[in-house]
Structure formats: structure tokens, C-alpha cells
Structure 1
Amino acid sequence: MPDQLTPRPQRRLKDFWRDRRGVSAVEFALIAPVLVIFYCGMAELTQSMMAQRRLSNIASSIGDLVAQSAQLNDARKNDIFTIGNTIMAPFPTTSLRMCLVSITSDATGKDTVAWSENHNSHANCPAQGAVLGSTVIPVGVLPASQSVIMAKASYGYTSPIKFILPSTLNFYRTFYLRPRKSETVLRVN
């Protein structure tokens, strides 16, 4: 009987607050934007990490291919840079930069660039004949009177979603490898 004495608008308000239908929909509406942001962020982060790993593979692979031979000619150089582009797939290769450098050290420990080849990168590669300072080559990598192949690669990763990572992330990798079949890898035409 008490419900019959309560005026109709107040009873509707009480019924509204007690009604549990639709609570799940309201909770989902509150949580869904956070979940979408989290999902997009994880997708972008995962893609950028994959691009960074591929860049490391490129730098080590192109350096290793050069260090395995006694000579580097134009055809082999082009093949090596093509391999680097292939490793980067399915990511776009427009911002991929690769550099191969042969560095020799004389008896006094002075490091000089014997030859330098680049793909899509002029500023990133030291010029042939350049004398490198002590900060370019880490200590212990190039002893006196020896040579080393330096493979450098860089990549500007731009997320296709641009939701969490709106700007380009630049990744850089450098590997040093010793020639295997000879004291130095010669550059021939």
C-alpha cells in the first residue's frame, strides 16, 4: 500500500535508480574509449619495434655480406642494397638509408676511410679518404694496421595510424665487422 500513496513522479524516480538494465552498456561506453586508445597505442608501438628490429637486421646483414668477400664491385653493391630494401618489407623504404664503409688503420692507429658507398644517404656516410676521429670507431674495434667494415643504417618510421605516435621516429644502427677472406675488402669497378 505505501507505493500507492507515493506520488507517481517520485515512484518513477525510485524505479529509475533501482533499475539495473543497461548498466553494462553504460560501463562499456565509459571504458570503450580507453580500450580503443590502448589498442591503437599497442599496435603502433609493436609496428615501430618491428621496424627497429628490421633495421638492425639490415645493418648487420649488409655489413656481413661485404665482410664475407675480398672485393666489392658495383653489381654486388647494388645487390646488397637491394637485399637491405627487401629485408625492410613490408615497411616503406623511402626513408631507409644505408651506408657501407671500409676503414683502415695505419701503424700509428690513424683511421682512414678506404672507400664509402651509400644508398639514399649522402650526409650519413663519411667520404673516401676522410680521417676519422677517435670518437667514430669504438675503442678495441679497429686495432692498428687492420681494417673493418662499418655498416650503418637509419630509418624514419612514420606510423600509419598516427594516433599515439603522430611524428616520425628515427632509428639508427651501426655494425662493425672484420673482413674474413682478406685483410681488407677492396673496392673495384
Structure 2
Amino acid sequence: MPDHLTPRRSRLAGFWRDRRGVSAVEFALIAPVMVIFYCGMAEAIQAMMAQRRVSNIAASIGDLVAQNAQLSDTKAADIFAIGNAIMAPFPTTSLRMCLVSVSSDATGKDTVDWSVTYNSHANCPAKGAVLAASVVPAGVLPASQSVIMAKTSYAYVSPIKFVMPRTLNFYRTYYLRPRRSETVMKVTG
């Protein structure tokens, strides 16, 4: 073995035995996984917060209507403004809200008395529509009574789009009985 190769072998052997950079190498391997995990958790928590706010909006706007004997256009606009405020700090451009009064006749046929929408809610039934039996769950609307149906939908888009690149759509529907009268009447103005 030539003498000029011996120092190289000893340096190479020393390199493999040296443990000074092990922590830096381990960190370099684990750091990308931890960053992905952190971003994914942040996105999931933001989506869960948006979903909860959609539920809160549907419950709140329905409850506000059910507490009144009448609903005017001005009051409906104020209620929808409250829904927008609940959604903050999330953008409200994709927030859709719908308030519907549904009455049942003596035979149990469910009919829409009135409906009011915010941001053109696509699944909001029109006034006079006869609803299928599956729209209002059994036991929620007895014969010859009415119920307020509050529907909310929201298209959540993650601001990071790292782990959740697609839009998540949240839908909530709440049914509340009128408290001050048999039905909530819709008045103009």
C-alpha cells in the first residue's frame, strides 16, 4: 500500500466516526415533515373554525327569526348582517343564507309560506313550494303547525392551500319553532 494513501484513509475513517453533525443531519431530515404537519394542522383548524361558524350562523339567524311574530325586509337584512359578522374574520363572499317559514296543513303536507335569501342561496325553496316529506325531518313539524328553517352554506378556501388545495363546502340547516306566535309572518318594509 503506498504511503500517500494512508492519510486519506485515516481522514475518511475519522469522518465516519465523527458525530458532531448528526443533530444537524437529523434536523434536516425531520424539519420538512414537521413543517408539512404544522401547515396541515393550521389548515385543518381553520377549516374547523369556519365549519363551526357556519353552524353558529344557521342557529343564530333561525333563532332571531323564531323570536319574532313578523319579519320585515329591513329586519331580514339586519339578521343577514349579523350572520356576516359571525363569519368574521373569514371572507363572506361565498357565504349563503336562507330563511324559510314552512307550514304543515292538517294532512301533514308541508308548504313554504315565505323565503328570504342572502347571496342567492341555490337550495332555498320558493314561496308556495310544496316540500317533499324528507326535507323537514319527521317529528320536527307536526300537522297544522309551522317551523322556521334556517339554511347556511359556505365554500371554504384555505389561504395556505398547502395540504388542502381544494374548496371545502359546508352546509347547515336548523329548524326552530316560532315562539311568540303560531307562525312568523313576512311583511314588506
Could you say whether these structures have the same fold, taking a TM-score greater than 0.5 normalized by the shorter chain as the test? yes
Q: Residue by residue, what CA displacement relative to the aligned partner does 1:89-120 show, whole Å, maximum 9, x if unpaired? A: 00000000000000000000000000000001
Stretches of structure 1 that go unaligned for 5 or more consecutive residues are none
TM-score, normalized by length of structure 1?
0.96
- Quote the residue 2:28 is aligned against: 29
Q: Residue by residue, what CA displacement relative to the aligned partner does 1:134-174 show, whole Å, maximum 9, x if unpaired? A: 01010000000000000000000000000000010000000
Q: Residue by residue, what CA displacement relative to the aligned partner does 1:4-47 show, whole Å, maximum 9, x if unpaired? A: 9x811110111000101111100000000000000000000000
* RMSD of Structure 2 on Structure 1 (CA): 1.3
Question: Following TM superposition, by how much is the alpha carbon of 1:124 offset from its aligned partner in structure 2, in angstroms?
Answer: 1.6
Stretches of structure 2 that go unaligned for 5 or more consecutive residues are none
- Quote the residue 1:9 is aligned against: 8
Instruction: Tell me the amino acid that sits aligned with residue 182 of structure 1.
Output: S
Q: CA–CA distance in 1 between the matches of 2:63 and 2:120? A: 20
Q: CA–CA distance in 2 between the matches of 1:71 and 1:49? A: 34
**Alignment: residue pair count:** 186
Question: Following TM superposition, by how much is the alpha carbon of 1:68 offset from its aligned partner in structure 2, in angstroms?
Answer: 0.0
TM-score, normalized by length of structure 2?
0.96
Question: Which consecutive segments of 4 or more residues in structure 1 shift more than 6 A?
Answer: none
- Quote the residue 2:61 is aligned against: 62
Q: 1:11-160 counterparts in 2 under 5 A? A: 11-160=10-159
Q: CA–CA distance in 1 between the matches of 2:6 and 2:75? A: 91
Instruction: Tell me the amino acid that sits aligned with residue 134 of structure 1.
Output: A
Q: CA–CA distance in 2 between the matches of 1:59 and 1:123? A: 16
What percentage of residue pairs aligned between the two structures are identical? 75
